[in-house]
Amino acid sequence: MEYVRSTYIFGWEIGRGQFTVTYLVTHRETKEQFACKLISLRKLINRDDIKDVSREVQIMHHLTGHYNIVELKGAYEDRHSFNLVMELCAGGELFDRIIAKGHYSERAAAGLCLQIVTVVHNCHSMGVMHRDLKQDNFLFLSTAEESPLKAIDFGLSVFFRGKLIY
């Protein structure tokens, strides 16, 4: 198994969750920047926790290619952590942009809502329930005003078919 640090140079912390820390990483050869979500194995208490991480990786691979879903570039495991390397969304959280702007025009808000509904529709049409939709789990790809939104954090997501969840 390839070691993530042999391919990427770790930079500063850009995010933190309950069980994760996300770092800015730079590809050693191409110098392209990405986000790396590090999930400490010490925080994974039982087999179900490990299955959840595995399912998150499967779901992100399954959803690859959707314009409004963060793209998984690679998944690595070492003796300390799982490392998910994803496209870098440098525009910040939807929540923070709403607070900074104070308000959106009806047209701009409708555009954001359309992107969110499109994510939900496409996930559901591909048999995936996100189960953690909130403003913090949508990032802007860039700081540009017209930047697309990207859904992130599929850690609570599940596959479904009819009423069966797996």
Catalytic annotation, residues: 132
Residues in Cβ contact with 151 at an 8 Å cutoff, skipping those fewer than 6 apart = 68, 69, 70, 116, 119, 123, 130, 133, 137, 138
Phi, psi of 150 (to 5 degrees): -130, 130
Q: How many residues does the chain have?
A: 166
Residues in Cβ contact with 141 at an 8 Å cutoff, skipping those fewer than 6 apart = 87, 89, 90, 91, 147, 148, 149, 150
CA 94 to chain CA centroid, nearest Å: 13
Tell me the C-alpha distance between 23 and 66, whole Å: 23
Secondary structure class of 32 (helix, strand, coil): coil
Tell me the C-alpha distance between 92 and 26, whole Å: 18
Secondary structure class of 16 (helix, strand, coil): strand
